[in-house]
Structures are given as C-alpha cells and as structure tokens.
Structure 1
C-alpha cells in the first residue's frame, strides 16, 4: 500500500512542479510579449523619428545646395561689384587729375588775363598820355597857325592845310583869276608877318 501512495504523491508533486513551471513560463511569455510589443512600438516610433530626421536631412541638404548656389552667385556678383568699384575709383582718380589740371589751367588763364588787363591798362594810360600830348601839340599848332602865313609851304605843313586841286576855268573867267593874283599879299607883306610868327616864342 505504501508504493501506490508514494507513486501518487510523486505524481502529485510532479504535477505541481509542472504546473508551477508552466505558470512561470506563461508569466515569462507574457512579459516577453509585452516587451516585444513595447519594442515593436518603440521600433515604429524610432522608424518614424528616423524618417522625419531623414526628411529633415534631405531638406537640409537641399537648403545647403541652394545656399551654396546663392553663395556662388553672390561671390560672382561681389567680384563684379569689386571690378566696378575699382573702375569707379580709377575714374574718380582720373577726374581728380582732370579737375586739378583744369584748376591749374583756369588759374593760369586768370593770371594771363590779369597780366593782359594790366598791359591794357598800361597801354591805355600810354595812349591817353600820347593823346593828351597830341592834343597839346595840336593846340600849340592851332595857336601858332594864327601867326604863321598859311599860304607858304611850311605854314601849310605846320597847319596841315591840303591844297585842293584847282579846276580848269574857262577863258572868259581869266580876268577873275588875275584879280585873285592881285589880291595875294606881296613878298614884302609876308616878310612883315614873319616876325609876328616868332613872337609866341
């Protein structure tokens, strides 16, 4: 009777052990299922995050490429602007040189103009002096002409008397010419007037 009881006890113990082992395995399976579902969810979330990161990376690469293109364009524009600036600087330097040259030419022209004006003033004063001298001489000549015989050659020269050409007269008028000759003063009268011409001295 002992053997069947021992066998029954052994079977019960084994059954309890197997039941405990199965229960433990089920718990482990549940835990593993939970971990697997958690890891699956985590993997999906990580995959979505990585997808977003990849999209952002693609966008960033695109922006970098566009930025590189803009930088290249700006570099070209900057080089062109530098060239234009250098040309403008050269033009400005040329303009400054031209301005200085024009200023010097204007100053030289002003100096020459002043010199010419001074020369004109001097010449004008000389001409005025000469005109005044000539006027005085003419006045003296006019006063002398009052006392000089104007019919003589020397008197005509001093008084600037020009003989007008005599027109040929008709024969019937010859007596009138004789009368004119008679009216001319005699040489003695000329000699008498000569001392009067020397009186102004």
Structure 2
C-alpha cells in the first residue's frame, strides 16, 4: 500500500514540477514575445527616425550648398561694393578738397570785394569832397563874374564865355528843268521791186 501511495505522490510532485516549469517557460515566452515586439517596434521607430534624419541630412546638404553659393555671390558683391566704396571715398576726398579750395577762393574774393568796397567808399568820399570844393569854386566864380566886365577878353576867359560861331545859311538849290529834244523822223527805205520777165509761148 505504501508503494502506490509513494508512486502517486511522486507522480503528483513531478506533475507539479512539470506544470511549474511549463508555466515559467510560458511566462518567459510571453516576456520574450513582448520584448521582441517592443524591439521590433523600437527598430521600426528607429528606422523611421533614421530615415527622417537622412532626409534632413540631404536637405541640410542641399541647403548648405545653396548657402555656399549665396556666400560666394555675396563675397563677390561685397568685393565690388568695397571697390565702389573706396572709389566713392576717393571722390568724396577730392570733392572735399575742391570744396575747401572753392571756400578759400570765395573767402579771398569776399576779402578783395570788401577791400574794393572800402577803396570805393574812400574814393567816393574823396571825389565827393572834390565836387563840393569845385561847386564852391564855381559859386564863387559865378559871384565874381557878376562884377567883371564880360565884354573884355580877360573877363570872357575868366568867366569861360565863348562866342558861338554863326552858321552859314544853306543856299537853296535851283532845279533846272531839261527840255526833251524832239526826235527826228527816220526816212523809210523804198522796197526794191524785182522785174519778172515773161517768156513767150511756142505753138507746135
């Protein structure tokens, strides 16, 4: 009786061990399946992300090449702009020099103008004084001439009186009318008449 009971117990224990092993294996299989599924999903996501990265890398390369071309073009434009700026700076320096020269010439002209105006004012004042002096002399001379005999030669010279020469009267021109000469009639020439000889008729 003990042997069958032991055998039954051994079988039960073995069955339980096998069931536990099978359960653990199934659990491990489920975990591995989940890990495989997760790894597959992760791989797919990584592949998609890598594809996006590759697309972005291609776009970045294209953009980089385009940017390089634009940089080269801008470098050339910058070189041309620098040359243009240098030329304009030279033109500005020349213009400043010309402006300074014109300013100096204008200042010199203004100074000369002021000097001429000052000299003109001085000369004008001098000649005004001379005119006033001459006017006074003329007034004194005219006052003196009232008491001088103007018929004498010295009085005339002193008072500056001159005799006006008499202008001779213009003689009228006589118009002589010329009579036309009568024309003589021209003699007419007689026409010469040519004599015509008449020939006698001969009867046959």
TM-score range with shorter-chain normalisation?
0.5 to 0.7
Aligned equivalent of 2:66: 66
Higher relative contact order structure (alpha carbons within 8 Å, sequence separation ≥ 6): 1
> TM-score if structure 1 supplies the norm length?
0.60
Distance, in Å, in 1 between the alignment partners of 2:71 and 2:167 is 110
Residue 8 of structure 2 corresponds to which residue in structure 1? Answer: none
Map 1:1-201; keep pairs closer than 5 Å.
Answer: 34=33, 43-166=43-166
Deviation for aligned residue 1:146: 2.0
Q: CA deviation at 1:53?
A: 2.0
| Runs of at least 5 residues in structure 2 that lack an aligned partner in the other structure | 1-17, 170-204
Q: Give the alignment's Cα RMSD to 1 decimal.
A: 3.2
Report the CA distance shift for 1:77/1:166 in structure 2 as closer, same or farther (over 3 A): closer
Judged with a 3 Å threshold, the aligned counterparts in structure 2 of structure 1 residues 108 and 168 are, in CA distance, closer, same or farther, namely closer
**Displacement of 1:128:** 0.8
More helix by share: 1
Q: What residue ranges of structure 1 are gaps of 5+ in the alignment?
A: 1-19, 170-201
**Distance in 2 separating the partners of 1:68 and 1:112:** 64
More off after superposition, 123-132 vs 142-151: 142-151
Distance change in 2, residues 1:96/1:46 (3 Å) = same
Q: How many Å apart are 1:77 and its aligned residue?
A: 2.2
- CA drift at 1:39: 6.0
Aligned length: 147
Distance in 1 separating the partners of 2:144 and 2:80: 92
Shift in alpha-carbon separation, 1:168–1:105, aligned structure 2, 3 A = closer
Question: d(CA) in 2 for partners of 1:97 and 1:150?
Answer: 74
